[in-house]
Structure 1
C-alpha cells in the first residue's frame, strides 16, 4: 500500500474514534517520553509534586470518561492489517481473538494508572474531576463515551458535516466554540506527528518480527510519511470539527462555550496534555505488541 493510501486508512479507520469526540489530541512519542521522564524526576523530589492516590485516579478515570477512551483504543486494531497492506479477513476469527488479547481493557487500564500515578498530582486531578462531576460534565461524558465506542463512524461524520454546513449557513458562533474546544484539548499541538509516530513504531515492529519486509529504514519511512503531514493536518482538523459538531449537538451554545472555557483553563490543558500523551503511548505500545503477536497468525483459507 502506498503512503497516501496508508495515511488515508489511518485517519479514516484507525485513529478517528480514539480522539475525544473528534477533538485533535496527542503529543509526539519522543516528546512524550521526555515529558514523562521530566515529570517522574520532579515527582521524586520531596515537597515539589505529590503524585495522585491510585484510588483517586481510578475514580478520575471513570468520572472523566477516560476509562472508556482507553477501551476504545481496541477499535483501532481493526485497521492494523491495512496499514501493513493486508486485510483482517485474511486471518479469520484468529484476528479477533488476538486483538482482544493484546488490547485487553485491564492491561491498558493498568498502564494508564501506572503512568498517571507518577505524573498527575492531586491539584490537577481535583480540578478536572470537579468539572466532570457537575451535571454538565456528566452529560458531556455520556455523549463522549457514546462517541468513543462507535465502531462505524460514517453516520457521525456525515451528520456532523451536515450540522457544520447548517451552522456555517447561519454564521453561528457555535463553530468557533467547537474550534476553541479542539484547540484547548490539544494544547501541545502535535496530534499528527503523534499519529504518524504510532504508525512508524507499528510498521518497524512488524518488520522486526518478520511479519512484513520493509524496503526502507526508519528514517526513510519517516520522510515518506512526513510528505503528507500538512494535508493530513488539514483533514484531521476538518474531521475534528464535524465529529465534535455531531457529538455535542444536544448541548446548547452556552454549554458548548462553557466547556470550551473549562478546557482552556491552564490546569485542564495540563491534564489533557498528560492524558493525550498517555493514550497515544499506550496505543503505540499495544500496536508494537500486536505486531509481534502477528507472528503467531497464519492466513486462513475458505474451504
Structure 2
C-alpha cells in the first residue's frame, strides 16, 4: 500500500493528530473488523511492510537535533531497535484499525490489492519501503523523471495527489518534528527548553519551502518505485485511489502511520536522555 512515509525527513518525508482518529471513529456506523481479518489486510495491501519501514526513520532523530547516531554511543542501535520494534508497531496499527476501519472499507481496499494489478503494485511498493539509502533512491528517481514523457509525469503527480488529497503530509511532518523536539527538550536531551509557540512559528515560516520539497521528493520516490509498471497501469491505480471509499481508507492509513511515528519518536526522545548529557538545539 502506497502510504506517505515519515522517512522523508531524511529526504524530507511526508501528523495527523490522534484526535483525527477519534473523529473518524465517531463517523463510522459499521462494525469494526476483527483482528484476523486486519492481519490479512496488512499483508494483502502491503500496509504491514509500510509500518515495518517506520523503523528506518529512527536514523532521523539525531539529525533533527543536529547530531549523529554516534553521538549517542554504542547502545544507539539497540535502543532504536527496541523503540521502533516492528511487532509493537504492527500491534498498535491493528489496535487503532480495529476501532476505525469498517468492514466496507477493509473489503474495498483488500479486493483491489488482491487483484493482479494490486499485487504487482504491492510488490514494488514493499521493495521500495525497505530501501535504506533514500538519497540513492531519490537520485535514481530524479534521473527517471528527466527521461520521462509528460504523460508519465502527470500520472505520477495525480497518484501522489490522490494519496494525500487533503494535503496532510506537510502538517504531519511539522507535527512529528514538533512533538519530537518538545519531548527531547522536556526529557533534558537539549540543554535549553524549547518554547512551543516559537517552534510552531518557525515551522510555519518554512511551510512553503517544506511543501515544495515534499512534492519534489514524493515525485522522485514515485518515479523510482513504479519504474517497472506501465503508464496505463498507473492510470488504473489513480482511478482506484480516487474512489471516495479508497480515499477514506488512505486518510485513515496515513493517520495511523503518522500517529505511530510521532508516538515512537516521543518515546525515543525519553530514551535518548539516558544516552547523552544534552546538546544545544
Same fold judged by TM-score > 0.5? yes
Return the alpha-carbon distance in structure 1 between the equivalents of residues 196 and 41 of structure 2: 37
1:112-131 paired onto structure 2 within 5 Å: 112-131=93-112
In the TM superposition, what are the counterparts of 1:138-157 in structure 2 within 5 Å? 138-157=119-138
Q: In structure 2, which of residues 21, 25, 28 is the aligned counterpart of residue 40 of structure 1?
A: 25
CA contact (8 A) 1:14 1:77 kept: no
**Unaligned segments of structure 1, at least 5 residues:** 1-9, 17-23
Q: What SS does the corresponding residue of 1:93 show, helix, strand or coil? A: coil
Alignment of 1:1-303 (within 5 A): 11-13=8-10, 16=13, 24=14, 28-29=15-16, 32-43=17-28, 48-167=29-148, 171-298=149-276
Structure 1 residues 37-77: Cα deviation after superposition (integer angstroms, max 9, x where no partner): 1233345xxxx221112111100011111111111111111
Is the 2:72–2:272 Cα contact (8 Å) retained in structure 1?
no
- In the alignment, structure 2 segments of 5+ residues that lack a partner are 1-6
Q: What's the counterpart of residue 6 of structure 1?
A: none
Tell me if the contact between 1:42 and 1:49 (Cα under 8 Å) persists in the aligned partners: no
Deviations 1:185-222 (A, max 9, x none): 11221211110100110011111111113354101111
Q: TM-score of the superposition, structure 1-length normalised? A: 0.85
Shift of 1:15: 5.4
Deviation at 1:127, TM superposition (A): 0.5
**Deviation readout 1:93-146 (Å, 9 max, x if unpaired):** 200000000000111111101110010001010000011111111111110111
Mark the CA change 1:146 to 1:177 in structure 2 (over 3 Å): closer, same or farther.
same
Mapped partners of 1:235, 1:14: distance in 2: 9
Q: Identify if the C-alpha distance between structure 1 residues 15 and 75 changes in structure 2 by more than 3 Å, giving closer, same or farther.
A: farther
1:173 counterpart SS class: helix
- Aligned partner of 1:4 in structure 2 is none
The alpha carbon displacement at 1:11 in A equals 4.3
User: Are 2:72 and 2:275, in contact at CA under 8 Å, matched by a contact in 1?
Assistant: yes
SS in 2 for 1:272: helix
Q: Separation in 1 of the partners of 2:220 and 2:26?
A: 40
Asked whether the 8 Å contact 1:74–1:100 carries over to 2, the reply is yes
C-alpha RMSD over aligned residues: 1.6
Q: Give TM-score scaled by structure 2 length.
A: 0.92
SS at match of 2:150: coil
Give distance in 1, aligned partners of 2:239 and 2:61. Answer: 36
Distance 1:213 1:34 in 2: 31
- The aligned length equals 271
